[in-house]
Structure 1
Amino acid sequence: MVNQISNRLCPGTLRQVHHIAFNVKDMKASKHFYGQILGLHELTGDEVPKTLSRLVREGKVANFVTPDGTVIDLFWEPELLPPDPDPKQGFTRANHLAFDIDPDLFDLAVEVLKQNQVMIDHGPVTRPTGKGIYFYDPDGFLLEIRCDPRE
């Protein structure tokens, strides 16, 4: 829908995030991180979008899905350089991607990150909006696991 008066989309037109695409240097490390450490489901076989099936077969793309249906596409870029050698220097266009978790599972998620020696940026932090921990994926992109406050 387009609002004819202001030439903008009406509220509610965009329904949800469909997918997020990341360029990754080490596909094996990234697949392990998103699949084994974060526990996201990797799309395989008929689950892979037809438009990406050739690239998935060739090992150039991997697709993971969150429980709410958001797809994370990993595009293999073996020559990818980090935006800065210091992973604490932010990307220029994006700040971070946040995953929501049940408050009862937050401490478990923190422990899993520590056991897997995932580089933690900061946290856990507690705010009026809940708890969060910020950490890096294998390519230095900042991620967060957060939860609402317990009721």
Structure 2
Amino acid sequence: MQTTTQTPIAALIPGSLRRVHHIALNVRNMQASRHFYGNILGLYELTGDEVPETLVDLVAAGKVANFVTPDGTVLDLFWEPELNPPNPDPTQQFTRANHLAFDIDPNLFDTAVEVLKQHQIHIDHGPVTRPTGRGIYFYDPDGFLIEIRCDRIN
């Protein structure tokens, strides 16, 4: 009888991963997506020397746009003009990602909902109220589910 010993599989120490560095989304219409994330959701678009060195050429060619949230998370948009989800109905999940959630001050939540309505953004559901706070779910120009959420006011 032959015995084998297994070497323990290494794992990162809890807390080693500090935060989300960036999120990259493929988008079909760069102009519509830049307008949505920059002008409607109010994210800051990186320009000039702010653009990551590895993406300068792609940004210059109009193939990538970079936005940043106030906490420093970068949202990269990659232009994929032939992008089509397997199902054109945005309520049907077509990627392994479920949704992207942005946190907002509870005092600004209703304003955010009103901005979405004024821009006629397709709202999937909400606003919803939960024990942890409130949220609203809607779609970006490519049908990716976005949430704006806030903590409960104590």
What corresponds to 1:113 in structure 2?
Answer: 116
Match of 2:19 in 1: 16
Match of 2:88 among 85, 90, 105: 85
Tell me, which stretches of 5 or more residues in structure 2 are unaligned?
1-6
Residues of 2 paired with 1:130 and 1:116: CA distance? 24
Alpha-carbon separation, structure 1, partners of 2:85 and 2:42: 25
Matched-pair identity in %: 76
Matched, 1:134 2:137: yes
The structural deviation recorded for 1:5 is 5.6
Code of the aligned partner of 2:16: T
Alpha-carbon shift at residue 86 of structure 1 (Å): 0.5
Q: Normalising to structure 2: TM-score of the pair?
A: 0.93
| Aligned counterpart, 1:35 | 38
1:6 shift after superposition:
4.8
TM-score normalised by the chain length of structure 1: 0.95
> Which protein has the larger Cα radius of gyration, Structure 1 or Structure 2?
2
1:59 is matched with which residue: 54, 58, 62?
62
User: SS in structure 2 opposite 1:132?
Assistant: strand
* CA–CA separation in structure 1 for the residues paired with 2:95 and 2:61: 30
Deviates more, 1:106-115 or 1:83-92: 83-92
Q: What residue number does 1:26 align with?
A: 29
RMSD over aligned CA atoms reads: 1.1
Residue 97 of structure 1 is matched in structure 2 by 100
Q: Could you tell me how far apart the structure 2 residues matched to 1:26 and 1:92 are?
A: 18
Which consecutive unaligned segments of at least 5 residues does structure 1 have?
none
